[in-house]
Structure 1
Amino acid sequence: MWMLHQFPLCPFSRKVRLLMGEKGIGYELVRTDPWDAGDDFWAANPAGRVPVLEDRERRIALCDSRAICEYLEETVDKSPLINGTAANRAEIRRLVALFDETLFGDVTMPLLHERMKKRLVMREPPDSRVLREAMKLAHAHLDYLDWLVDNRSWLAGSQMSVADLAAAAHISVADYLGGIDWKGHDSTRGWYYAFKSRPSFRALLAERMDGIRPPEQYADLDG
């Protein structure tokens, strides 16, 4: 059986969990904080990052969320999430890279550093300047998501794809940490609230990071 090493507020782990949920793939969650991981974890991934997806019976250890998603897409013939024409598949991958690199770097990573790592690991107060900049940049990303939602059935085209999963994973972490202001972003808010009502999202909404409580609207499904 698959074992997924992750911690609750890792957006990349959340993306993999959403994909596995949509495809109906069973797995066991293994809580792994990279800043306090043991030798076995470092042996599985020398980069020291989650997620890591393991099947020890088959001696398989997969690292990097995009590589994991691609592997599962290629090996599980159910609910394709990198779909459509070659051009559409390229667009899906472009958006996943945008969310995993730019949205993460501008918004998710600073929020995680200031509101999670500083509190739980470094025992330092957050930098309000960094938080303000991250929330400012979040509006720019939400503007682009508004455009995608207004012009497509799903973010990358006519069907749900791993691009939707990636965006939802990052937004959910930012929302948990109080970094999302939905004012002026009704299109993306509607898409996100519909997406987080899916069965694959329920476990994420129920999970909590020790010592950090999300705002009340985090688990709200009413929009």
Structure 2
Amino acid sequence: MATLHHSPFCPNSRFIRLVLAEMGMEPSLVEERAWERRDAFLLINPAGTTPVLVEQTGLAVPGAGIIAEYLDETRGLGLSGRRLLPEATPDRVEVRRLLDWFLVKFHAEVTGYLVLEKISKRFMTSADGGGPPDMNAIRAARINVRYHLQYIGYLMERRRWIAGDHLTYADLAAAAHLSCVDYLGDVPWDESEIARDWYARLKSRPSFRALLADRVPGMAPADHYADLDF
């Protein structure tokens, strides 16, 4: 059995959890608080970041994008019509473009701020950077998420799924990041009905159940967070 080193509200970790579930894989989960920089974890990934997938052979695969590529190379062909990275080169380019959009750009502009300020800081010591949330950062993220939601709506007006006609890594990455923001109640769903309907399709999939069961100790999710028909 593979092992996934993750953090429940690390959006890139959530992306890989969705990918593994869609592939029918059930890894052993090890929760990491990246700011603690555990020596044992740093031996696996010197960067000290999550997620990291460790195969039974001991091979450690760090980073969401690298893990996604690795899983496609090692398991993709066996998925047949359910492959999450398409076979055609132009389609693969589009999925990779959107992966970068959500794993890097969305994270830098939205989830990185909100998860740190509203969740992680609650559990960090002052020496690690814990303390009261930076409201300026939170306000910036709340402004930025509107732009990203509009972009998802723009894509979904033209496609069945974010990257084309089939479910891909792009959908799972976008949904993983939005799930963190949605837990905090910071997604203005009323501003894009088409984006909301797309997300409702994603959160209704069996692969999403474990994410919807996650809870931050002492912080309840938004009322609609686990509602499949919100």
The two structures have a TM-score, normalised by structure 2, of 0.93
| Distance of 2:215 and 2:121 partners within structure 1 | 17
Greater mean deviation of Cα atoms: 24-33 or 197-206: 24-33
Aligned residue in 2 for 1:20: 20
Aligned residue in 2 for 1:116: 119
**Cα displacement (A) at 1:125:** 1.9
Structure 2 unaligned blocks of 5 or more: none
- Where in structure 2 are the equivalents of 1:1-223 lying within 5 Å? 1-55=1-55, 57-76=56-75, 77-78=78-79, 79-121=82-124, 122=126, 123-223=130-230
| Distance of 1:73 and 1:45 partners within structure 2 | 21
Structure 1 unaligned blocks of 5 or more: none
| Distance of 2:226 and 2:20 partners within structure 1 | 21
Counterpart residue type for residue 32 of structure 1: E
Counterpart residue type for residue 20 of structure 1: L
Greater mean deviation of Cα atoms: 152-161 or 179-188: 179-188
| Distance of 2:84 and 2:6 partners within structure 1 | 22
Q: 1:73 to 1:93 in 2, by over 3 A?
A: same
| Distance of 2:216 and 2:73 partners within structure 1 | 32
Q: Deviations along 1:146-200, whole A, 9 cap, x unmatched?
A: 0111110100001110000000010001111222111221010000011100000
% identical equivalent positions: 42
| Distance of 2:40 and 2:134 partners within structure 1 | 34
**Cα displacement (A) at 1:36:** 2.1
Runs of 4+ off more than 6 Å: none
Counterpart residue type for residue 144 of structure 2: L
**Cα displacement (A) at 1:213:** 2.2
| Distance of 2:50 and 2:35 partners within structure 1 | 11
**Cα displacement (A) at 1:59:** 1.9
**Cα displacement (A) at 1:34:** 0.9
| Distance of 1:188 and 1:204 partners within structure 2 | 19
Secondary structure in 1 aligned to 2:189? Answer: coil
Counterpart residue type for residue 228 of structure 2: L
| Distance of 1:84 and 1:75 partners within structure 2 | 14
**Cα displacement (A) at 1:64:** 0.7
**Cα displacement (A) at 1:37:** 4.1
| Distance of 2:189 and 2:160 partners within structure 1 | 20
**Cα displacement (A) at 1:84:** 4.1
Secondary structure in 2 aligned to 1:216? Answer: coil
**How many pairs were matched up?**
222
Q: Deviations along 1:89-130, whole A, 9 cap, x unmatched?
A: 100000000111111111100101210122221452222222
Q: Deviations along 1:119-143, whole A, 9 cap, x unmatched?
A: 2214522222221221111000101
**Cα displacement (A) at 1:38:** 2.0
| Distance of 1:19 and 1:162 partners within structure 2 | 7
The two structures have a TM-score, normalised by structure 1, of 0.96
| Distance of 1:100 and 1:207 partners within structure 2 | 20
